[in-house]
Amino acid sequence: MRRAHFLVCACGLIGFLAGCEKAKQDMYDQPRYKPFARSDLFPDGSSSRTPPPASVPYSGGPFAGTSSGRIGAGDVSEEIAASEARSNPYPVTMQLLRRGQERFGIYCAPCHSPAGDGDGLVARRGFPHPPSYHSERLRQAPDRHFFDVISNGYGIMYPYADRVAPADRWAIVAYIRALQLSQNANANSLPPESRQRLADISRSSAGTRGEGGAQ
């Protein structure tokens, strides 16, 4: 009986609080200007304020047009092409891969694991496991998919646009591709000396197993 009385009181209190929320919406319905609407408050007649000189855009370089509306100096067509690139616009060099590995280790590995299989330390401690980069779906995903997920988040993953610069996002994408290749490499794509080394290792392993069986 006491439990039923408690439930009735709790439901009544919840209903009362919900009614108060709907009756009091000052923060929702407060007077405001729409972006770039006209206003007589300022001498220039605009409600939006011009950023102070030397303000740093949320996203800079070739990607400024995607967030702030500003196109950087230089060849405009090149800037637009870079911001809309479906694949990595930077040459994949060892320097880029090392930078991507460093940034990946800081921002991605705690959940995705250093190998990219989704079994990072955070996931092992109860956080939902992210998908493995080595799944067929993500191996076939375009570069831009990873760039967009890093920028905007996905599911319960929050966005990293405010902490990982665009160039570093592309460096991470390049490193993710290297991780995928490390787990799904085709021997025919290797240089001849590397294929020969693999063949020697394979023969050596086979010989060791044969000797063990003979004993």
Question: Is 141 domain-assigned?
Answer: yes
Question: Is 32 domain-assigned?
Answer: no
Q: Could you read off the pLDDT of 112-162 as tens digits, one per residue?
A: 999 999 999 999 999 999 999 999 999 999 999 999 899 889 999 989 988
Question: Is 75 domain-assigned?
Answer: no
Question: Is 72 domain-assigned?
Answer: no
Residue 146 is predicted with a pLDDT of 94
Quick check: helix, strand or coil at residue 157?
A: strand
Question: Is 137 domain-assigned?
Answer: yes
Tokens 């009756």, residue? 23
Whether the per-residue pLDDT at 69 is higher than 50: the answer is: no
Burial class, 175, CB count within 10 angstroms (exposed 0-12 / middle 13-18 / buried 19+): buried
Q: Which two tokens stand for residue 21?
A: 């929320």
Q: What is the average pLDDT value for the chain, to the nearest integer?
A: 79
Handedness of CA 103, 109, 113, 117 (dihedral sign): negative
Of 49-53, 178-182, 190-194, 195-199, highest mean pLDDT = 178-182
CA distance to 16, 92, 94, 204, per residue, from 188 (Å): 71, 21, 22, 20
Residue 16 is predicted with a pLDDT of 57
Plot region of 153 (φ>0 → left; ψ -120 to 50 → alpha; else → beta): left
- CB atoms inside a 10 Å sphere around CB 22: 7
- Tell me how many domains the chain contains: 1
Whether 100 and 172 have beta carbons less than 8 Å apart is answered as: yes
- CB atoms inside a 10 Å sphere around CB 164: 18
Query: Which residues fall within 8 angstroms of residue 35, CB to CB, at 6 or more apart?
Result: 47, 48
* Choice between 42 and 102, residue whose per-residue pLDDT is larger: 102
CA distance to 32, 33, 126, 170, 192, per residue, from 149 (Å): 32, 32, 22, 12, 37
Question: Is 6 domain-assigned?
Answer: no
Question: Is 154 domain-assigned?
Answer: yes
Quick check: helix, strand or coil at residue 46?
A: strand
Query: Which residues fall within 8 angstroms of residue 71, CB to CB, at 6 or more apart?
Result: 64, 65, 79, 80
Q: Which domain holds residue 178?
A: 85-186
Question: Is 73 domain-assigned?
Answer: no
Kindly report the CATH number assigned to the domain that includes residue 105: 1.10.760.10
